[in-house]
Amino acid sequence: MPETPQMFQTRDTALAEAHQRIGRLAALTPIHRAFHWLHLHQPQLRQWQLEMLAIPAPPFGEAARAAWFLERFHALGLTNVHLDPAGNALAELGPTQSSAGVGTDTGTATGTGPCVLLSAHLDTVFPSATVCSPIEDGPRIICPGACDNAAGLTGLLAIAAALRFAGITPPVPILFAANVGEEGEGDLRGMRQLFHNSTYRDRIAAAIALEGSGSSAVVTRALGSRRFRIVVTGPGGHSWTDAGTPNPIFVLGRALAALSQLELPSTPRTTLNAGQIAGGTSINSIPEIATALLDLRSTDPDQLKATELEMRRILQANAPAHTTAKLFVELIGDRPAGALPDDAPLLHTLRAVDRHLHLRTEPRIGSTDANLPLSLNIPAIAIGAGGTGGGIHTLQEWYDPTGRETALRRILLTLLDTLQQTEAPALLPHNS
């Protein structure tokens, strides 16, 4: 639907109002105190980052790092500090909370009205045996997960600490979450807990996820993906005496070769990747099982479904005809798609903040924790916590916090204006 002059005028008015709000907000003395804390305590942020990096957080093994976050939340004086059934480390800063005292830890949501979620994921892509010993090389921190997502997690603590130091009382509660399950086969399980199964599920009015480095990009469109495990089984045997027995690795290889010829559209952009294969016992054994992990993504939900159907057809066509061998397709991940409308108040707020801080607003598409709320039509974004990073998802991953203070100001102003725009009456339940 083409935009009309009236739509342009409405959007311009909303942006102008957002600019005025941010100007007034940034001029407040408590905000200056919060900015001052962020400026003076960069060494503290670095120390937190080094400490958390030394605690491995492999897929489905985030418990030790979550426990460390519970300790930090306690020390910062947040209320309702607790671990939820999925393993998310949660805490609140609410409108009735004293700036000097530590609240009680009930383990359940402390209200019925709306709240705003500020989150960063605990998990990394690295297996449990990965050595996690951060190395400092000048301003750089080198360690698996140094940027993704220790940068975001450090930002989460920075915002909580700055708010507490400045004595800022939010008009509605902030739910701080160091959540599990963002990477790979975690399949957003931390977010699924919060938005589908927790006592917060009908209360979260908006969500801001802190993801890696940077101070200009913002994920406003959720890239949908479907992930599969392909399993081929057979009787197995000896490579010589049982020659001719169906070999699952050969079967799997033929199926993957056929999938590699699948024509994928460039518009809407759609990708299919085989990321891992496994199987076999020894060089002179016919394996009993062979597996492969596939990742299918598309910017368009309908194209995602259509490509999945064609993928399944190709696999079925290449399934073994022999009765002793079987090919199975198992769905192991489903990341829903969604998008933040261009005229969403949350996006107006961010654009106004960026204009105030002389930053660029660069909307992007990505697969992040924001996928879940966006798929439920809950306003959500994923933004960087400042600094720069590289070698993401490699053992040489690094993060340089230089300049991250500006990005943290960006997060703080965006969060506070979003809180101001959130109405106090209880929200209607979100569709799930």
Rounded to the nearest 5 percent, the helix, strand and coil shares of the chain are 35, 25, 40
Largest alpha-carbon pair distance within the chain?
Answer: 82
> What values do phi and psi take at 227, rounded to 5?
-125, 140
Angle, helices 5-26 vs 345-357, to 10°: value is 50
C-alpha separations of 336 from 296, 298, 370 in Å: 12, 11, 10
Q: Give the SS3 label for residue 283.
A: coil
In CATH, the number for domain 8-222+337-421 is 3.40.630.10
Q: Which of 12, 104, 35, 4 is nearest to 416 (CA)?
A: 35
Q: Give the SS3 label for residue 111.
A: coil
What tens digit of pLDDT does each residue of 243-298 get?
A: 999 999 999 999 999 999 999 999 999 999 999 999 999 999 999 999 999 999 99
Reading the block at residue 164, the tokens are 């507490």
Q: Which of 376, 366, 388 is nearest to 429 (CA)?
A: 376
Same fold, 8-222+337-421 and 224-335: no
Residues 6+ apart with CB under 8 A from 346: 206, 340, 379, 380, 381, 414, 418
CB 359, CB 408: distance < 8 Å: no
Which parts of the chain sit beneath pLDDT 70? Answer: 1-9, 97-110, 423-432
C-alpha separations of 25 from 29, 240, 416 in Å: 9, 77, 8
**pTM score:** 0.88
pLDDT score for 299: 86
CB 395, CB 144: distance < 8 Å: yes
CATH 3.40.50.620 fits 224-335, yes or no: no
> What values do phi and psi take at 210, rounded to 5?
-95, 120
- Report domain extents, the chain: 8-222+337-421, 224-335
pLDDT score for 104: 38
pLDDT score for 150: 98
